[in-house]
Amino acid sequence: MLPTVDLKANGFGGSVTVPYSQSAMLTWITKDATSCTASGDWLENGVKPIQNLAGEDTFNLSSSKKYTLTCSGIGGATSDTVTVNVVPPPSLPSVSLLANGADNQTTINPGEEVILTWSSANVTSCDASGNWKDPKNTSGSESVGFPTGLTLYTLDCTGPKGNASD
């Protein structure tokens, strides 16, 4: 009789997803198998027990991995594969604030209107400070009127991996 093998990661067959730097537990059961061999991304490829309900830890994963277990018996050989997908870590936040299209410091003529435009990445909220106030969208454009003298506009944005300001 052809052996069967059921390989699972965290109790699921086929494909599972884990957070970045987390591990998965590989478990398997077989029927009519006399030997099993691991291939793919196992920490140690080669001979494995024909059953392992206690599990084998993948340890901290930083990228997706594919695990295959081939088991043989009197009737032949069969394989099962499980893929562990890893959610990438959140990226660092960034923000860019421009005044009339210029970054950092800009000079305007008397009576010239100032338009602030901004964009951000990997943030969930933004707050304005300096010569403009209030919460802002994570991207946008806004007229701040016709300033006279030195004026300062700051945008502070917060995301899952920290803060960014411009």
Task: Check residue 149 and give its pLDDT.
Answer: 83
Task: Check residue 106 and give its pLDDT.
Answer: 82
Find the Cα–Cα–Cα–Cα dihedral 103, 107, 111, 117, rounded to 10°.
0
Identify the CA nearest to 145 among candidates 117, 114, 118: 114
Task: Check residue 89 and give its pLDDT.
Answer: 80
Task: Check residue 48 and give its pLDDT.
Answer: 96
pTM over 0.85: no
pLDDT along the chain (166 residues), means of 10: 95 95 96 96 95 92 96 96 91 92 84 92 93 92 89 92 91
Task: Check residue 104 and give its pLDDT.
Answer: 79
Task: Check residue 103 and give its pLDDT.
Answer: 85
Any residues with CB less than 8 A from the CB of 56 and at least 6 apart, and which? 25, 26, 27, 42, 43, 48
Task: Check residue 165 and give its pLDDT.
Answer: 93
